[in-house]
Amino acid sequence: MAVEPSPAAEVDVTEELVRALLVDQHPDLAALVLRPVGSGWDNAILRLGDDLVVRLPRRHAGVALVEHEQRWLPGLAATLPLPVPAPVRTGAPGPGYPWPWSICRWMPGDSALEAPPTDPATPTVLGAFLAALHHPAPADAPPNPFRGVPLAVCDPVVRERLGRLGDEVDAPALLALWDRLVHTPPWPGPPVWVHGDLHPGNLVVRAGALAGVIDFGDITSGDPATDLAVAWTLLEPADRPALRAAAGHEGDTATWDRARAWALHLGCAYLLHSGDRPAYGALGRRALAAVLADAP
C-alpha cells in the first residue's frame, strides 16, 4: 500500500506573512498575539489573541473552500444548534499572499480525533445538528463532485482504492459489501445542505461534550448520507440508533445503507492519505472495521 502524505503547501503561511496581512487590512487586530495552531490539507490556522483564529488557504485548491464558508456560513450559523466557524471578518489578497482568507471565532476544545466525546448525549446532539443542517439547499449552493453525490459516482474511486489497499484491509469483504450497497436507491428528496467532511477531526469536544463543528469548506448540497457516515467513524454500534433517530432517518433504511457505504468510501480515503497523519490512518482502519462488523 502506498500511503500518500498531505498535499504540499503552495504558499508558506508564516506568522510574519499573517501579521503583514493584518496590518494592511485589519490594523485594529494586528497587535494581538499570533500562534500557529496547525494546518490541514487546504488551510493554515493561526490563533489570533484569545478569541479569534485566522484561516488561510495554503494551496490554490483551498481558495474556493474558504469562499464557500464566507458566503454561506454566516446565514447557516443562526439555524444550527452547535457553534460553527462563521467568518467574522474577511481578508483579500495582499502583500506576499494571493488569495482570500478569513478571521473566525476561536472554538476552545480538542478535536474528537484526539479526545473522543464521553457525554452520553453525543449521538442525540450530533443527530439534532444534522437534522438542522439537512434542509433543502438553494439552487446556487456550492457544487461538489466528490461529496453528496450518488454512490454510483463514487464506484470507480472506491474500487481503485480497495485495489491499492490490498492486504492492508479485508479488501474482498469490503468489496462485497460495497457491491451490495452501491445499488441502494439514491436520495429521493431535494438536495439538502451537506457538511461534506464530517469526521472526528472536524468535531470540537470540550469537557467530554460536543462543542462545535468546524471546516465547512466542502459544504455542498445533495444526499445527507454523506454526513451520516460519521455514525461509523465516531460512534460505537450501540450509539448509532440514537444518532439515526435524532437526524430523522429512523425508518429510512436506504439512507442508512448509503451512509454505511459512505463510511466505507471515506474510510479508504482516510487510510490512503495518512502518510504524515497517523491518526487518520487509525481512523480509516476503525471506519472500515466498523462497516464490516455492522449488521448485514
Same domain, 124 and 203: yes
**200-235 burial by CB neighbour count: b if 16+ within 10 A, else e?**
bbbbbbeeeebbbbbbbbbbbbbbbbbbbbbbbbbb
- Are 40 and 125 part of one and the same domain? no
22 lies in the same domain as 37:
yes
78 lies in which domain range?
15-105
Do residue 137 and residue 281 come from a single domain? Answer: yes
Same domain, 121 and 99: no
Distances (CA, A) of 85 to 182, 243, 269: 33, 23, 25
Could you tell me the pTM of the whole model? 0.95
Which of the residues in the chain have pLDDT under 50?
Answer: none
Residue 2 lies in a domain: no
pLDDT at 2 (0 to 100): 61
Number of alpha carbons in the 13 Å side-chain half-sphere of residue 209:
7
Boundary residue ending a domain (105, 129, 150): 105
The domain boundary residue, chosen from 71, 90, 105 = 105
- pLDDT score recorded for residue 39: 82
Tell whether 236 and 275 lie within a shared domain: yes
Q: Which three cell numbers stand for residue 2?
A: 502506498
pLDDT at position 277 is 85
9 inside domain: no
Q: Which residue type is seen at 143? A: P
- Per residue in 130-153, pLDDT (tens digit) is 999 999 999 999 999 999 999 999
Does 33 lie in the same domain as 92?
yes
Kindly state whether residues 188 and 285 are assigned to the same domain: yes
**Is residue 173 one of the residues assigned to a domain?**
yes
54 domain residue, yes or no: yes
Compute the distance between CA of residue 232 and CA of residue 291 in angstroms, rounded to an integer: 7
Q: Provide the pairing of β-strand 52-57 with 101-105.
A: antiparallel
Residue 41's pLDDT is 78
Kindly report the CATH number assigned to the domain that includes residue 142: 3.90.1200.10
Q: Where residue 93 sits, what CATH number does that domain have?
A: 3.30.200.20
Percent of the chain surpassing pLDDT 90:
93
Instruction: Tell me: do 168 and 234 sit in the same domain.
Output: yes
**Is there a domain that residue 193 lies in?**
yes
Residues 132 and 264 in one domain: yes
Q: Report yes or no on 216 lying in a domain.
A: yes
Integer Cα distance of 22 and 40 in angstroms = 22
The domain total for the chain is 2
Q: 130 and 179 share a domain?
A: yes
**Is the residue at 6 inside a domain?**
no
Residue 186 within a domain: yes
Same domain, 120 and 99: no
Picking from 76, 105, 134, the residue at the C-terminal end of a domain is 105
